[in-house]
Amino acid sequence: MTVRKGHSAQTSIILPIFASMRHLAISLLLGTLTALCAGAYNDHRGHNVDSLERVVAPWTPDAIDKATEEELIDLNRAYRDLMLGYEVINGEKAVFYARKAIAISRRKGWTEATGDAARHIGQYFYAREQFDSAMVWFQESLDCVEKMAAGATSPSHPEGYGEIDIDDSRSSLYGAIGNLYNVMGDIPAAMDYYRKAGEIFDRHGWNESNSILYYNIGETWLEEKDYAQALPAYEKSLDYARTAGDSLLVANALKGLGGLYMDTGKTWKALRCLREADRYYSLHDDQEFRFRMENLDFMSQALSAQKQALARWLGVSALLVMLLAAFILIFRRLHRAKREQAETAQVMDETLSERHTPSDKAPALTDRERQILALIADGKTNPQIADALFLSPETIKWYRKKLLVKFDVPTAAALVSKAKDLGLV
């Protein structure tokens, strides 16, 4: 990812932290010269590396010892040009010339030149995962920055260095050292250096750099599965990106949030963030292609997870509906059985306790008996009466027998006839 630091004329690059493929983008600021980031070098003589090597070849140790101040300045610059020129095509040669530059600058006390070359050597070892060696060189570069802050000068800055130049270099090295601790598994130490870098960014209002910083902090915590700390880091990254007005950094922060929500199972939130991120990525078709592809892959995963979740939800809903229907059916049957039991007991008690009613008088009837008598008079069968009154056919038989006893008749036809004669139907 190309990083644009609004606070510096330098271009910064991102060094990958060697983690999982998903988090290959975890990185922090390492300020380097514009020439290095462009994959070129600053040849002050206008020569290519081969011709520049021929220029420095005659400078043996004896010749260097006899060189004038101006010649050493030019030679040191030439070695650093060769360091930058070989940076992207031959790392070993880049380190070789960086060491030669340091040999001169250390002897002359040129702290800026020493720190710059030391940082490039640290970057070389970092890229090859030789982290202990990288730490030594980055620390030396940071020591040089502190000497510059304390008032050290150089031929290019005879009056010393300004606060912004110092803080620019400091923040870059804080990020580099934080990365080293990160990949070596010392997360608290890494976060301490990231915090130092963030304080500098806040002090100068370098919002783009802070957005990148907190994005990488979020990626670190996400890799550690510490979601409680990953979420505010991504949110800060998004806030800084929006404050800076950098749509590409906004896209990256949204992608980070989408990945976090994916990990925590919040696919609807994830998809919302990822879709918004894709809209921003679409404004930069010529940049960050890999990041956009990763974002699209996350979107595909989120959609797939949503489909699975929806299928599970529908399955559970169907099961719940079936259970509810079964519960209602069982409840109704239990309720009906309870009513039948109560009414059956009542019929039996009344049958046993009541005497025959004189044939010329109307027997005393309950409301339920009147209902059943009317239905018998209408010609309804026992099952039909049971369905109408939500009782069992057995209960209706009990009522029918009870009515025959009360009216002192042998058949249903005689029951209906007598009931009519008495004006009950």
Find out whether 279 and 249 touch, Cβ atoms under 8 Å: no
Encode pLDDT of 84-103 as tens digits.
999 989 999 999 999 999 99
- Domain for residue 139, yes or no? yes
Rg (CA), the chain: 45
Mean pLDDT, residues 75-87: 94
Q: Is 374 or 36 the better-scoring residue by pLDDT? A: 374
Question: Which of the pair, 11 or 366, is modelled with greater confidence?
Answer: 366
- Contact (Cβ atoms closer than 8 angstroms) between residue 125 and residue 133: yes
Q: Are 104 and 85 in contact (CB under 8 A)?
A: no
305 part of a folded domain: no
Residues 177-189, mean pLDDT to the nearest whole number: 95
CA distance 28 to 213: 6
CATH of the domain at 130: 1.25.40.10
Q: Report the share of the chain in percent with pLDDT over 90.
A: 50
Mean pLDDT score of the chain: 83
pLDDT of residue 343: 65
pLDDT of residue 361: 72
In this structure, of 159-173, 329-343, 395-409, the range with the lowest mean pLDDT score is 329-343
Q: What average pLDDT does range 189-199 have in this prediction?
A: 97
The per-residue pLDDT for 49 is 87
Give the model's pLDDT for residue 19.
35
Query: For residue 12, what pLDDT is reported?
Result: 35
In a domain, residue 224? The reply is no
Backbone angles phi, psi at 79, to 5 degrees: -60, -40
Q: What is the pLDDT of residues 226-236, one digit of tens each?
A: 999 999 999 99
Establish if 414 belongs to a structural domain: yes
Task: Indicate the number of domains in the chain.
Answer: 2
∠ CA(253), CA(255), CA(259), 5° rounding? 115
pTM value is: 0.63
Is residue 62 situated within a structural domain?
Answer: yes
Q: What is the DSSP string of 182-223?
A: HHTT-HHHHHHHHHHHHHHHHHHT-HHHHHHHHHHHHHHHHH
Structure confidence at residue 347 as a pLDDT band (50, 70, 90): low
CATH number at residue 409: 1.10.10.10
Q: Which of 177, 201, 225 is the last residue of a domain?
A: 201
Residue 293 or 39, more confident:
293
Containing domain of residue 116, as a range? 1-201
What span, in angstroms and rounded, lies between the C-alpha atoms of 197 and 171?
Answer: 5
Compute the distance between CA of residue 146 and CA of residue 79 in angstroms, rounded to an integer.
24
* Last residue in a domain, options 147, 182, 201: 201
Q: Which of 185, 201, 217 is the last residue of a domain?
A: 201
For residue 194, tell me if it sits in a domain. yes
User: Could you tell me if residue 220 is inside a domain?
Assistant: no
